[in-house]
């Protein structure tokens, strides 16, 4: 549907008693225990924009669909639909036809095709009566740390009593009110092949499933990339999990709201980078207002308040870096100043485990719940990224090196100034 046509659809009630996108957004806001102010803060737009969408005066753009998808745990395409079934004001978006049990085959297909959950690539032939099979990725890792390519003509044989680490070829995205259970496909379970994974695929999971394969049988196990390896059951939850189940209902509501707002990793990373620049900015208050100075970059901005001046100085600094990175023919002296300034930020800015996870999420490289991420980078290569745990930290420069990125480009990506595009 064209954007203008879809925009008109948002202003009216969907056909056949369905909900228009604005009405559905209102139901989703209520389901998450939020209000329009909290949603506007989480997605980085004005409250009026959210109010316009909810009341049918504004359509949901592709950019807004992406932001709403990150907030609600659904895909962008889900929010670009022209209408929604009236039953989707429940957390399961119309898929809970019989209580809160395991989804059956036709429900799985509808959940994927409507964007409630994502399995990419999705092959309907892999859907079983009450599960869906996922396939083996193109490589496995041995206990000795060796990475083996299993895409070739010859298979890989897992010897009896041995274990390898693997991942699915498919990428999954679950909303915040769905979970999954994982096990070996039925044809393998009877041959002593065990799939070792956590208790469940948790709410909001995004990424390729990572697991271990143990051969408990007597014969070698033949493995090829692209073959069905694990089966998952998919289940909707009765409600979106609260942030802390030990709190009172009032505190749960407040903390649950804060947790959902904090889901916006873009906002977290942008604030992290901008705060690092602000710390290197000097503020002088005078009769005419406040002056923000970044001496190393020869930036000086006068504005009515210290916050306004600081924000303008940060924008100028990041904008200058973006220009110099995109136009390699810029003045050499300016290039050296900006490179030195932001290189120092990259070396001294240390990320916690959660900040690192957020940074990876911004780059569409979700880390899951483990301590290690096997990431497919935008140049097509794969890399193992150990994530900091507990009190450990990793510098932004070190993270950039692990991701095969220039630290200055990574700063611009995390600050939301330039996108992370695959294939570049």
Domains of the chain, start order: 3-89 (1.10.260.40), 105-236 (2.70.40.10), 265-414 (no CATH)
* pLDDT over threshold 90, residue 126: yes
Helix H or strand E encompassing 276: helix 265-278
pLDDT tens for 9-23 read 333 444 456 788 898
CA dist 369 and 387 (Å) reads 10
Tell me what pLDDT residue 410 has: 92
The least confident of 67-71, 175-179, 203-207, 222-226 is 67-71
pLDDT of 2 > 50? The answer is no
Residue 252 has pLDDT above 60, yes or no: no
Cβ neighbours for 52, distance < 8 A, ≥ 6 positions apart: 58
The residue-averaged pLDDT of 140-150 equals 76
Given pLDDT bands bounded at 50, 70 and 90, which one contains residue 343? very high
Q: Which residue has the higher pLDDT, 257 or 111?
A: 111
316 pLDDT band, cuts 50/70/90, is very high
User: Between β-strands 147-149 and 139-142, what pairing exists: parallel, antiparallel or unpaired?
Assistant: antiparallel
Q: What is the pLDDT of residue 223?
A: 81
Residue 404 has pLDDT above 80, yes or no: yes
Asked whether the predicted pLDDT for residue 408 surpasses 90, the reply is yes
Q: Report the pLDDT value the prediction gives residue 360, as an integer from 0 to 100.
A: 81
> How far apart are the C-alpha atoms of 81 and 114, rounded to whole Å?
8
255: Cβ–Cβ under 8 A, 6 or more apart, which residues?
242, 243, 244, 247
Per-residue pLDDT, 54: 92
* Arithmetic mean of pLDDT, 396-406: 89
Comparing 114 with 219, the larger pLDDT belongs to 219
The pLDDT of residue 367 = 53
State mean pLDDT over 217-238.
85
282-319 burial string, b = 16+ CB within 10 Å, else e? eeeeeeeebbbbbeebebebebeebeebbbebbbbbbe
- For residue 229, give the DSSP letter: E
Q: What is the pLDDT of residue 311?
A: 86
**Residue 229 pLDDT > 60:** yes
pLDDT higher at 377 or 302: 302
High-pLDDT (> 70) share of the chain, %: 78
3 vs 171: which has the higher pLDDT: 171
pLDDT confidence bin for 124, thresholds 50/70/90? very high
Q: Is the pLDDT of residue 189 over 80?
A: no
Give me the phi and psi of 320, to 5 degrees please: -65, -40
Is 69 or 48 the better-scoring residue by pLDDT? 48
Residues 6+ apart with CB under 8 A from 355: 268, 269, 272
The mean pLDDT of 346-356, rounded to a whole number, is 85
Average pLDDT over residues 33-57: 83
Asked if residue 327 has a cis previous peptide bond (ω within 30° of 0), the answer is no
Per-residue pLDDT at 86: 65
**Residue 49 scores a pLDDT above 70:** yes
Helices (H) and strands (E) in the chain, counts: 15, 19
CA atoms within 13 A on the CB side of 313: 30
Please tell me whether the overall predicted TM-score, pTM, comes out greater than 0.85 for this model: no
Residue 260 pLDDT: 43
Confidence (pLDDT) at 294 = 93
Instruction: Please give the DSSP secondary-structure letter assigned to residue 121.
Output: S
The predicted model gives 166-190 an average pLDDT of: 85
The pLDDT confidence band at residue 341, using thresholds 50, 70 and 90, is: very high
CA-based R_g, the chain, Å? 24
pLDDT at 295: 92
Residue 245 pLDDT > 70: no
């Amino acid at each position: 549907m064209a954007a203008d046509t879809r925009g008109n659809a948002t202003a009216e009630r969907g056909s056949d008693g369905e909900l228009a996108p604005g009405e559905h957004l209102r139901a989703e806001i209520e389901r998450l225990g939020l209000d329009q102010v909290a949603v506007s803060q989480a997605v980085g737009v004005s409250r009026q924009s959210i109010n316009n969408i909810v009341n049918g005066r504004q359509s949901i753009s592709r950019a807004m669909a992406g932001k709403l998808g990150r907030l609600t745990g659904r895909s962008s395409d889900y929010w670009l639909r022209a209408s929604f079934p009236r039953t989707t004001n429940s957390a399961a978006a119309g898929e809970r036809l019989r209580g809160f049990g395991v989804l059956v085959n036709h429900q799985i297909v509808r959940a994927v095709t409507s964007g409630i959950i994502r399995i990419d690539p999705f092959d309907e032939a892999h859907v079983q009566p009450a599960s869906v099979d996922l396939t083996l990725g193109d490589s496995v890792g041995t206990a000795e740390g060796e990475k083996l390519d299993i895409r070739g003509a010859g298979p890989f044989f897992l010897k009896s009593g041995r274990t390898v680490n693997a991942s699915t070829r498919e990428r999954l995205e679950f909303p915040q009110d769905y979970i999954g259970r994982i096990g070996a496909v039925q044809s393998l379970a009877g041959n002593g092949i065990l799939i070792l994974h956590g208790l469940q695929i948790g709410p909001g999971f995004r990424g390729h499933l990572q697991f271990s394969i143990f051969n408990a049988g007597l014969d070698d196990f033949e493995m090829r990339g692209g073959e069905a390896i694990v089966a998952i059951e998919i289940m909707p939850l009765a409600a979106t999990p609260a942030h802390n189940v030990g709190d009172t209902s009032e505190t749960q509501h407040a903390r649950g709201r804060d947790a959902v707002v904090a889901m916006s990793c873009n906002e977290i990373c942008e604030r992290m980078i901008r705060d690092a620049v602000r710390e290197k900015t000097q503020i002088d208050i005078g009769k005419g207002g406040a002056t923000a100075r970044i001496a190393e970059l020869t930036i000086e901005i006068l504005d009515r308040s210290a916050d306004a001046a600081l924000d303008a100085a940060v924008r100028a600094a990041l904008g200058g870096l973006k220009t110099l990175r995109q136009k390699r023919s810029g003045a050499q002296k300016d290039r050296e100043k900006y490179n030195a300034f932001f290189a120092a930020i990259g070396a001294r800015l240390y990320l916690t485990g959660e900040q690192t996870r957020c940074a990876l999420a911004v780059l569409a490289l979700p880390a899951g719940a483990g301590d290690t991420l096997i990431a497919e980078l935008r140049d097509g290569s794969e890399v193992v990224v150990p994530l900091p745990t507990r009190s450990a930290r990793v510098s932004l420069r070190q993270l950039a090196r692990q991701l095969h990125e220039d630290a200055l480009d990574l700063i611009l990506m995390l600050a939301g100034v330039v996108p992370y595009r695959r294939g570049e």
